[in-house]
């Protein structure tokens, strides 16, 4: 599950870098596109914040999955020890 968040974060980061690059390009090279550099910087900032947020969610979900997996393993190990004692 966390892998999907990482992939989405990487995609948003790529689009943020493209938007930041578009802010640096002069308006003569952008026919038909918004020539306002402020708009491109704002979009880049929003996409960057989204990518950071999704990366954080991916990291936290990975940690919770790991904790859940280890607690399940310890429960199984304790259950096996109790069966062996009987």
Model pTM score: 0.77
User: What are φ and ψ of residue 15, in 5° steps?
Assistant: -65, -35
Tokens describing residue 22? 């578009």
pLDDT, tens only, 24-74: 887 776 676 666 778 889 999 999 999 999 999 999 999 999 999 999 999
What's the pLDDT score for residue 1? 74
Q: What is the pLDDT of residue 30?
A: 66
Q: How far apart are CA 68 and CA 71, in angstroms?
A: 5
At residue 34, the pLDDT reads 64
pLDDT for 19 beyond 80: yes
In angstroms, the CA 63 to CA 67 distance is 6
Q: What is the C-alpha separation between 30 and 44, in angstroms, rounded? A: 17
Higher-confidence position of 24 and 7: 7
Spatial contact of 27 and 40, defined as CB atoms under 8 Å apart:
no
pLDDT the model gives residue 50: 96
């Amino acid at each position: 599950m966390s892998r999907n968040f990482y992939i989405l974060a990487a995609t948003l980061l790529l689009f943020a870098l493209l938007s930041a690059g578009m802010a640096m390009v002069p308006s003569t090279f952008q026919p038909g596109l918004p020539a306002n550099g402020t708009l491109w910087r704002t979009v880049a900032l929003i996409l960057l914040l989204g990518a950071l947020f999704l990366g954080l969610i991916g990291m936290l979900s990975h940690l919770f999955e790991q904790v859940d997996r280890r607690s399940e393993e310890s429960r199984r190990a304790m259950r096996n020890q109790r069966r062996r004692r009987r």
